Amino acid sequence: MTIAYQGEPGAFSEAAARRLAPEATLLPCKSFEDVFAAVQAGQADYGVLPVENSIGGSIHRNYDLLVTHELPIQAEIEVPVVHQLLALPGTTIERLRRVYSHPQALAQCERFLRTLKGIDIIATYDTAGSAKMVADERLEDAAAIASARAGEVFGLTALASSIQDFDDNITRFLVVGGRPFHNATADKTTIVFSLTNEPGSLHKALSAFALRDIALTKLESRPIPGRPWEYLFYVDLAAARDELACARALANLAEFAPTLRVLGSYASWKSRAGWLPDPLKVVP
């Protein structure tokens, strides 16, 4: 089995892939688009994509990509995120003039970064990629915010550990692919739909689930490209698509929603503790 992820070795997306299938072959990709392309081309069986952080919120780009591609969601995984300030051996915090990392990681470490004076904070495309840049370019006055594993991979030392603002910093990942990842029983469904712009339309849509006692675990709106001020609504349902109540709710919604698509029906992270290897172990 091959799993594609965005970033360099040591990225948190790699940690998610390792947590999902420790024995899998991992395929690093430069961008989220490349992850989808690798799966669609058959280079990888599955792709792992971050969609939400418990502190920083949604990764909107990946919600958009779920719609523009036809790969269904096959699994969900959560990874605790612990950030380190990594630099070349011998570098001290006093020597630092630049700190690099992904915008989400920088936002998650805002309080720590405010304690660093006279230092430029620079956003990059990847946490582990920032560590690689510091190592490859021998940047003696720079550091990267990344995982402990990224430090091991690229030979950097931690000037400070666990620098995230909150201890309960968790990123949720979705696994996309052409076939089910495991025979676990689905208990969660992700859908996306549009609505006409008229009073009560969203209330009417959500009532299809409320009247059937189906809980919504997430509701997200995203602009529709080329149609200003019109939106797609992404919803996570605490039910399997094939459950009678859920099937009826979706049929009800389809009666008045101009577009409706099921992005995947899969086992939630909490329900999979029985078949994932060491599911509660924190991956470095």
Strand pairing report for 120-123 and 188-194: unpaired
Which two three-digit tokens encode residue 148?
A: 């402990």
Q: Of these residues, 36, 173, 193, 209, which one is catalytic?
A: 173
- Cα gap 1→21, rounded to integer Å: 9
Strand pairing report for 46-53 and 170-177: antiparallel
Continuous H helices in the chain: 12-20, 32-40, 60-68, 103-108, 110-114, 127-136, 148-154, 201-210, 244-254
Q: Of these residues, 124, 171, 189, 190, which one is catalytic?
A: 171
CA distances from 221 to 60, 64, 137, 192, 193 (A): 10, 10, 41, 9, 10
Whether 173 is catalytic:
yes
Q: Name the residues annotated as catalytic.
A: 171, 173
